[in-house]
Amino acid sequence: MKKQWWHKKVAYQIYPKSFADSNGDGIGDLRGIIGKLDYLKELGVDIVWLSPIYASPLADQGYDIADYYRIDPRFGTMDDMDELLKEAHKRGISILMDLVVNHCSDEHEWFRKACQDPEGKYGKYFYLEHTSDPTTLCNWRSYFGGSVWEKLPGHEDYYYLHVFHRKQPDLNWENPELREDIYKMINWWLDKGLDGFRLDAIINIKKALPFKNYPADRDDGLAACTTQLHDAEGIGAFLGEMRDRCFKPHNAFTVGEVFNEKEEELPDFIGDNGYFSSMYDFLETVFGQSQKGWQDNRDITPDDYRNCVFATQKKIADIGMISNIIENHDEPRGVSRYIPEGDITPVSKKMLATVYFLLKGLPWIYQGQEIGMENLKISSIDEVDDISSIDSYQVALKAGVSEQDALRMIEKYGRDNARTPFQWNTSDHAGFTTGQPWLRVNPNYPEINFADQEQDPESIFHYYQKLIRLRKSEKYGDTLVYGDLVPYLADQHNVMAYFRQTEGQKLLVIANYQSEPRKLPLPGTVKKVLLSNLDSVKYDETSVSLEGYQVAVVEL
């Protein structure tokens, strides 16, 4: 792996709508983010990805873009964006935007023109099918439920494809004119000084063509549109072109949201001349997911979590630098997902933080993770904003799940969990806004908030700072960034342990992933304890005694 400027950095995701509201309208905004740059600096963050802030009807919270060249007024102005770039760069922080180019909004000018003239230039920017008989259309199910085909507004005999929401028509990447327009837009942002992008849903830009039916996987007669992805060959031509035309000339940092990749393609994706700088590891994220719907999902246990993480580490090895997360804006809070219910405490949260943060790869923190924010309780479906939760709720009810159980299911998997406002302090609405927040604040903010944690040297926030300092340290940085990862005691129940090693240095991260204390063997003499989530680590020549959810990072 060739060394890159970003390998030793720490990255952070901001969900702008819920981060900090500067003008009291209940919606987080760019000026709110500018006001928190010093906070990010204090935490130790170097790279920040902003979820979409482009002009959008917000049907999918900004992942439906109506104008790629404009900032949505709810988030601010282009001047605010320029100021954010300037102020971030002053502090040595790089800014990434979300690149959402599998689809745009049905309110984008291209789509409006396509509706006016389906056979004209812009009709070819989308996937339109001309038929008066919708039963002839292929049976793919969109990610948010229902058929991927929707009648083209103003026409009785045209349908357009949307693999996500019906307000997110898919862009036709097979059309070189569309690709040119996309590259022009990317280069416009990079020329402006943007440092790179997170590439949204990027694997979907290649479809298995010609359209055809797949065996139905639910009673609705449809097949998940991930099924066709297995047959979609040749995405590399698009991604390589985008890299060469946009990212490479600007030396931009890019991270792909890639699901369903083919293993043999990994070097093409994130190798030295990969399409992207990095991509996320989602193996544990998707663990236990069922084609049938959320009601059929399986919980992930500590052993499953460890096995997924190690499988990715093995697969990636030295091909490139994977991006490690425990949560993002589409997922439940990591602490609520990966720590067994009833065991979620500051100690176990720090354990989880340690075992994922020190993996080989670029560590990402999702806003609020650094203070241990948790999932949200819901008492009625009316409180739910997330379109994917609302669809999954209906699917569950149809499958015979009770309303109560369906709500519990959304509490577990829903996307609102990560989207509740950031908990800054104990004042009204957790200090996120002086107005009415667009989404409920998690009522646990009096116990979980930044202001309290800032005062408490033992807080999760300060623990994350320690992790960041350790990964960036002169003495251990090279090993933690470039050293091999070798699993240790990988067949032991509720243990997550691994070595990070280079020639001349060997570190051991060892965690007791359960509430009962235990003794574990040590493979060598401890030279130094570098970090633990408890005051002391008890060890002798041959073993270490760990309390429930204790983790230790030691030099051997």
Per annotation, catalytic residue among 64, 200, 284, 547: 200
Q: Please state whether the peptide bond connecting residue 210 to the residue before it is cis, i.e. omega within 30 degrees of 0.
A: yes
Return the one option of Ca ion, ligand GLC, none that residue 170 interacts with (CB less than 5 to 8 A, by type).
Answer: none
Q: How far is the C-alpha of 420 from the C-alpha of 439, rounded, in Å?
A: 6
Residue ranges in contact with Ca ion by CB under 5 A = 21, 23, 25, 27, 29
Return the one option of Ca ion, ligand GLC, none that residue 424 interacts with (CB less than 5 to 8 A, by type).
Answer: none
Please identify, using beta-carbon distances, which residue of 200 and 391 lies nearer to ligand GLC.
Answer: 200
Residues 6+ apart with CB under 8 A from 118: 128, 130, 152, 155, 158
Secondary-structure breakdown of the chain: helix, strand, coil percentages, each rounded to the nearest 5? 35, 20, 45
Residue ranges in contact with ligand GLC by CB under 6 A = 60, 63, 100, 164, 200-201, 257, 329-330
Return the one option of ligand GLC, Ca ion, none that residue 200 interacts with (CB less than 5 to 8 A, by type).
Answer: ligand GLC
Q: How far is the C-alpha of 74 from the C-alpha of 29, rounded, in Å?
A: 7
Per annotation, catalytic residue among 29, 64, 195, 257: 257
Please identify, using beta-carbon distances, which residue of 173 and 310 lies nearer to ligand GLC.
Answer: 173
Return the one option of Ca ion, ligand GLC, none that residue 25 interacts with (CB less than 5 to 8 A, by type).
Answer: Ca ion
**257 given a catalytic annotation:** yes
Please identify, using beta-carbon distances, which residue of 144 and 338 lies nearer to ligand GLC.
Answer: 144
Q: Say which residue the tokens 């091999």 belong to.
A: 484
Q: Minimal distance in Å, beta carbon 286 to ligand GLC?
A: 12
**Cβ neighbours around 366 below 10 Å, total:** 22
Please identify, using beta-carbon distances, which residue of 286 and 311 lies nearer to ligand GLC.
Answer: 286
Q: Residue 224 is encoded by which pair of tokens?
A: 């998940």
Please identify, using beta-carbon distances, which residue of 61 and 94 lies nearer to Ca ion.
Answer: 61
Letter for the amino acid at 19?
F
Q: Minimal distance in Å, beta carbon 187 to ligand GLC?
A: 22
Q: Minimal distance in Å, beta carbon 25 to Ca ion?
A: 4
Return the one option of Ca ion, ligand GLC, none that residue 29 interacts with (CB less than 5 to 8 A, by type).
Answer: Ca ion
Please identify, using beta-carbon distances, which residue of 434 and 505 lies nearer to Ca ion.
Answer: 434
Return the one option of ligand GLC, Ca ion, none that residue 330 interacts with (CB less than 5 to 8 A, by type).
Answer: ligand GLC
Please identify, using beta-carbon distances, which residue of 25 and 330 lies nearer to ligand GLC.
Answer: 330
Q: Residue 512 is encoded by which pair of tokens?
A: 């007791």
Please identify, using beta-carbon distances, which residue of 27 and 507 lies nearer to ligand GLC.
Answer: 27
Q: Minimal distance in Å, beta carbon 78 to ligand GLC?
A: 23
Residues 6+ apart with CB under 8 A from 132: 156, 157
Alpha helices in 317-368 (DSSP H): 334-338, 346-357
Return the one option of ligand GLC, Ca ion, none that residue 11 interacts with (CB less than 5 to 8 A, by type).
Answer: none
Q: Minimal distance in Å, beta carbon 74 to Ca ion?
A: 7
* 142 and 163 Cβ atoms separated by less than 8 Å: yes
- Of all helices (H) and strands (E), which one includes residue 487? strand 484-488
Return the one option of ligand GLC, Ca ion, none that residue 63 interacts with (CB less than 5 to 8 A, by type).
Answer: ligand GLC
Maximum pairwise Cα distance, the chain: 78
Radius of gyration over every alpha carbon of the chain, rounded to an integer in angstroms: 24
- Nearest partner of 141 among 41, 259, 23, 229, judged by Cα: 229
Q: Minimal distance in Å, beta carbon 550 to ligand GLC?
A: 34
Residues 6+ apart with CB under 8 A from 424: 20, 430, 431, 432, 449, 450, 451
* 418 and 325 Cβ atoms separated by less than 8 Å: no
Residues 6+ apart with CB under 8 A from 101: 171, 182, 199, 200, 202, 205
Q: Minimal distance in Å, beta carbon 418 to Ca ion?
A: 19
Distances (CA, A) of 86 to 34, 44, 69: 10, 18, 18
Q: Say which residue the tokens 């829903």 belong to.
A: 414
Distances (CA, A) of 102 to 37, 172, 177: 30, 8, 15
Q: Minimal distance in Å, beta carbon 271 to ligand GLC?
A: 24
Residue number of the CB atom closest to ligand GLC: 63
Distances (CA, A) of 143 to 59, 148, 164, 226, 472: 14, 9, 5, 8, 39
**150 given a catalytic annotation:** no
Residues labelled catalytic = 200, 257
